[in-house]
Structure 1
Amino acid sequence: MKRGKNYQEKMKLVDRQKLYDLDEAVESVKKTATAKFDETVEAHIKLGVDSRHADQQVRGAIVLPHGTGKSVKVLVFAKGDKATEATQAGADYVGAEDMVEKITKENWFDFDVVVATPDMMGVVGRLGRVLGPKGLMPNPKSGTVTFEVAKAVSDIKAGKVEYRLDKTNIIHVPVGKASFTQEQLNENLSVLLDAIKKAKPASSKGTYFRSVTITSTMGPGIKINPAKI
């Protein structure tokens, strides 16, 4: 794939053969984030597991200390007191069957995360075909199926991110914005890597962190030394 002149210039700032320490990698990713908008910084982590096996799944959610820098719209499926709780906690949209109808009939998707109380999962299940492919289906493992809706909404608004393996055993997670200070990005990335480290399946053998790369939206990938994680 042919890259533009700006990208080629950014590449000169990165040593493709080098495995950077975390601090150095973050410093480099900030230097290469020169777009006119505030680029997102993402981590791409390849693990030595096989996601085809149920006992080697790596999935969870954490609240990043400094958030992601993105304002997140939350839709909550709840009724009664729980619906009131969700609204008071700052949920952008709260409803039940009415929201199912809005999504199915109007093809409405003006939200980033879906939370549901367990008793509403029968209703939400009708949306499986449309929410599933978009990665929006609530899940107990990520804390989005819960009766503690106020906490769930607060955590998401504060910068909660979900991490999970894709089919190639790689986890892709945003860890902040290029405008963040180096310390903020360092902390966010360290908390994420620590959580993934703790989530290592007991059945996983050999090297766990195969590769760790961080990149900004328009910048080149910068490899972190996995041996130092």
Structure 2
Amino acid sequence: GVDSRHADQQVRGAVVLPNGTGKNVRVIAIAKGDAAKAAEAAGAQEVGDDDLIAKIAGGYLDFDVLVTTPDMMGRVGRLGKVLGPRGLMPNPKAGTVTPDVGKAVTDAKAGKIEYRLDKQNIIHVPIGKASFGAEKLMTNLDTVLDAIAKAKPAAAKGQYFKSATVATTMGPGVRVATNKYGV
């Protein structure tokens, strides 16, 4: 029920799924000093600063999430042409540019997902694997729909959720009632 062409009607954010996504996420961190130690302790695959930036500029893209501190964003910004098209560019709204790098790494590994409105006003979001079972999938779905409902822009008019459908990768879609989210 929003129009993606208007800047004041963008729906975007990130949420940590209580049961994870079922994927092993490879996280790297660009940080210095204490933040680098915290990222390493949290389980980042690789931690560095200028050396890691040079490595990424040289073509290293063997990771799923890039986390950095605000003071390093000036240097990471130069990688925009490499990271931007792949959706790997760190972003404060997604929680990947933060002074608390350790927590960001932990969240990413725990199953933090980003949701964002596309040009057709649709949000595509993974909520888990079919092998999770109904209870875990329902908990994840509730968490995602609650987060999207809370992200409702003030400029949005009329019915916010038009419809919601859950589907396996290659399976048929099943409609979900969204009236309990009150928007």
TM-score category (smaller protein): over 0.9
Secondary structure at the residue paired with 1:76?
A: strand
Of 133, 145, 149, the match for 1:193: 145
Residue 60 of structure 2 is aligned to residue 108 of structure 1: yes
Structure 1 stretches of 5 or more lacking a match?
1-47
Q: CA deviation at 1:180?
A: 0.2
Q: Using the alignment, how far apart are the partners of 1:92 and 1:224 within structure 2? A: 37
Q: Which amino acid aligns with 2:78?
A: R
Aligned to 1:221: 173
Separation in 1, partners of 2:123, 2:49: 32
The higher-RCO structure (CA 8 Å, 6+ apart) is 1
Decide which structure has the larger Cα Rg and report it. 1
SS in 2 for 1:130: helix
Q: Give the match for residue 24 of structure 2.
A: 71
Number of positions where the alignment pairs a residue of Structure 1 with one of Structure 2: 181
Partner of 2:50: 97
1:85 to 38, 51, 59: 38
Distance 1:103 1:77 in 2: 11
The alignment status of 1:169 with 2:121, answered yes or no, reads yes
Q: How high is the sequence identity, in percent, across the aligned residues? A: 66
Which structure 2 residues correspond to residues 135-150 of structure 1 after superposition, within 5 A? Answer: 135-150=87-102
Contact 1:96 1:123 in 2 (8 A): no
Deviation beyond 4 Å, 4+ runs, structure 1: none
Three-state SS of the structure 2 residue aligned to 1:109 is coil
Structure having the larger proportion of residues in strand: 1
**Aligned match of 2:135:** 183
Cα distance in structure 2, aligned partners of 1:163 and 1:128: 20
User: Matched residues in 2 for 1:225 and 1:158: separation?
Assistant: 27
State how far apart, in whole Å, the 1-side matches of 2:113 and 2:12 are: 11
Instruction: Determine the C-alpha separation between the residues in 2 that align with 1:96 and 1:52.
Output: 37
Q: CA RMSD in A?
A: 1.1
Match of residue 212 from structure 1: 164
TM-score, length basis structure 1: 0.76
Which of the numbers 110, 122, 129 marks the counterpart of 1:158?
A: 110
1:141-190 CA-to-partner distances (Å, cap 9, x unmatched) read 11110010111111111111111111111111110011102100000000
Q: Which residue number corresponds to residue 202 of structure 1?
A: 154
